[in-house]
Amino acid sequence: MPSTPSPRHTPTAGQPSAQTAPALQPTPSPIATPDGRTRYANGERRRAEIVDAAMQVFADQGFQGLSLRQIAEAVGVSHTLLRHHFGTKDAILQAVLTRREKLEASWRAELFAQHGFLDALPQVMAHNATIRGLIQLDAVMRAEAVNPSHPAHDYIVGLTHRFRSAIRADLAADQAAGRIRADLDLDLTALALASLIEGVQLEWLLDPAVDMAAVMTDA
């Protein structure tokens, strides 16, 4: 990738704000036979647990070579239960990818709004180093979905475009706030940064000694 002059002004330090979930309060109502809403909530909770388990399975083993029955065995549920919640192998993959995309979006948006995209990026990469399984899932899915016949091909293409557009929007906010140069080409910079992020993560997966946060600090 050809080098370009740094778009930074002066870096600022900051940490994402910690948020603690409120403690659940006991309900005074007596326990009753679950109604439709309770059964639905329990079903959704079980479905979410399966998605989280499948996410790790796909990160470790990929997707293409697994059958629905093998996924059920790896996740620790019956084949019948898996079919009940998802129906098809492709539906499980779609649920996993959607979950992965939404999993950390909110705290990243807060971090970027507070500190700016470029100054917060090293913190994001340091965090990514703590979730190797999810980063590996991204890499595996992107590699497999290059094939147009892959069931996630269209989703991954869309995800790539959304990722690049999100970076461009964050850069535009930095530009408006005076954090980066006013003459910076946002489209080219967003493409370059997206490629850098994905490339550095792949290097780190192959060589865990790579310090992703340091790379982004010095880029």
Tens-place pLDDT, residues 22-37:
333 444 444 444 556 6
Tens-place pLDDT, residues 89-112:
989 988 998 888 887 777 888 888
Helix (H, G, I), strand (E, B) or coil at 69: helix
Cα–Cα distance between 156 and 144 in angstroms, integer? 10
Residue-range domains of the chain with CATH:
37-99 (1.10.10.60), 104-218 (no CATH)
Question: How many CA atoms lie within 13 Å of 66's alpha carbon, on the beta-carbon side?
Answer: 22
Q: What's residue 217's pLDDT?
A: 92
Q: What's residue 149's pLDDT?
A: 94
Q: What's residue 7's pLDDT?
A: 54
Specify the range with the lowest mean pLDDT, choosing from 39-43, 77-81, 188-192, 211-215.
Answer: 39-43
The amino acid at residue 219 is A
163-170 LR contacts (CB < 8 Å, sep 24+)? 163/194, 164/190, 164/191, 164/194, 165/190, 167/117, 167/193, 167/194, 170/112, 170/116, 170/117
The secondary structure of 79-101 as a DSSP string is HHHHHHHHSSHHHHHHHHHHHHH
Separation in Å, CA 113 to CA 4, 134, 170: 25, 24, 8
Q: What's residue 13's pLDDT?
A: 41
Q: What's residue 80's pLDDT?
A: 94
Q: What's residue 129's pLDDT?
A: 94
Q: Which tokens in the block code for residue 21?
A: 């979930």
Contact 144, 150 (CB under 8 A): yes
Q: What's residue 21's pLDDT?
A: 39
Q: What's residue 131's pLDDT?
A: 86
DSSP lists the bridge partners of residue 8 as: 180
In the predicted structure, residue 1 carries a pLDDT above the cut 50: no
Q: What's residue 102's pLDDT?
A: 83
User: Smallest Cα–Cα separation from 189: which of 43, 34, 3, 15?
Assistant: 3
Tens-place pLDDT, residues 38-72:
766 777 888 999 999 998 898 888 887 889 999 99
Other C-beta atoms lying within 10 Å of the C-beta of residue 29: 6
Helices (H) and strands (E) in the chain, counts: 10, 0
Tens-place pLDDT, residues 156-183:
999 999 999 999 999 999 999 999 999 9
